Amino acid sequence: MLTNHLFLTGRHLPFLGTSDAGGGGGGEPEDPVDPAILASLNANGQEALRRLAAQRDAERTKNSTMQSELDSLKQWKADQETAAQTARDQAARDQGKFEELAQDLTVERDALKVEVESLKGTISSLKSTINTLVEAEWKELPDEVKDLYIGDPDDPVVKLKFIPKGKAHAAKIAGTTNADGTARLPKPDGATNVLPTREQVLEEMRRNAGLAPRG
């Protein structure tokens, strides 16, 4: 009877040390068992009282541990939510940077397209100008000189490179220069100046150009 009574009312009895009002919380009572009360009890009563006090302390320890675990769980949950929000914020910033970069690349691509089209127009104009110049120079060359050209007939750049040689060949054929390319000097009085014939000059040019002699 005493054990049951103490178990049921121990949290309200001064000899169980209820000085930590509010129940549970981790602090040990200042006087767990009142010595005067304990001394007034027989051995069984004292043992029952001690067990009740130990039971109460065990419950307090258990409650304190559970509260600590609950606090840790709450902190872990809060940390997880903070980390998740941080990740969402960073993802949003990264998405914004990606969209900004994509927009910049689109603008740059469009600008390059405009530049390429402009360059195409410039190149086309230059090609037309070069073709016109080459054709005009080409028409001035004698047919015999044109026969010495072994490059691509449709490549104006190659033709343009050949034209200076073609003019030199034309000058040799016309007799304004010697066969070796030097300017022909006037003959002094009474001197003889034997020069190669037109045919000889042409044959020499054909050999230099890697062409077969005329049949």
Asked if residue 104 is part of any domain, the answer here is no
Last residue of a domain, one of 82, 112, 131: 82
> Tens digits of per-residue pLDDT, 196-208?
566 767 777 777 7
149 and 77 in a common domain = no
Asked if residue 56 is part of any domain, the answer here is yes
Asked if residue 7 is part of any domain, the answer here is yes
Q: What tokens were used for 139? A: 């028409």
Last residue of a domain, one of 66, 82, 98: 82
Cα separation, 173 vs 201, whole angstroms: 7
Asked if residue 108 is part of any domain, the answer here is no
Last residue of a domain, one of 65, 82, 99: 82
Name the β-bridge partners of 177. 183
> What domain range includes position 159?
141-208
Predicted TM-score of the model (pTM): 0.38
Q: What tokens were used for 12? A: 């309200």
Asked if residue 99 is part of any domain, the answer here is no
Three-state SS at 108: helix
Residue type, 137: E
Asked if residue 119 is part of any domain, the answer here is no
> Tens digits of per-residue pLDDT, 9-60?
444 444 455 444 444 444 444 445 677 776 777 888 778 878 888 888 888 8
pLDDT beyond 60 at 99: yes
Specify the residue for token string 């043992």: 47
Asked if residue 110 is part of any domain, the answer here is no
Whether 144 contacts 172, CB under 8 Å = no
Asked if residue 23 is part of any domain, the answer here is yes
What's the domain count of the chain?
2
Phi, psi torsion values for 74, nearest 5 degrees: -60, -40
